[in-house]
Amino acid sequence: MSPASPARRQIRVFPEYGRAWPLWEDSTPTWDVGYATTPEMYGLSAALTRDLAAWNELWNTHFDPVLGWTDAHSRRQWAADGDAVVARLRTEVHAFADVVYEPWPVSGLTP
């Protein structure tokens, strides 16, 4: 018999280079999920999965860690979309997880 999962899980949300999904979760002795996770692991809706992918792609396409954002519009759009997808994620996983949003800095990084 496998051990029970923890009462509350903690999903972290932040983009990272080379990763398809901005979803992360620390494993515990009773809940080994690895570190990088996917929408399927949480049973997310198709609409939220699509919007998470688009949000992550916007960051990958328009943000450079040295140069910053390619333009102010992309920076503002990414920040607004991030707030929206995180709010929806919180709603979809509220029964079993808390969500911690850790966006990259968005101020002062445009050329």
Summarize pLDDT for 41-87 with one digit per residue, the tens: 999 999 999 999 999 999 999 998 888 899 999 999 999 999 999 99
pLDDT score at 4: 55
Close Cβ partners of 18 (under 8 Å, ≥ 6 residues apart): none
| Cα–Cα distance for residue pair 60/66, rounded to 1 Å | 13
pLDDT tens column, 29-40: 555 566 789 999
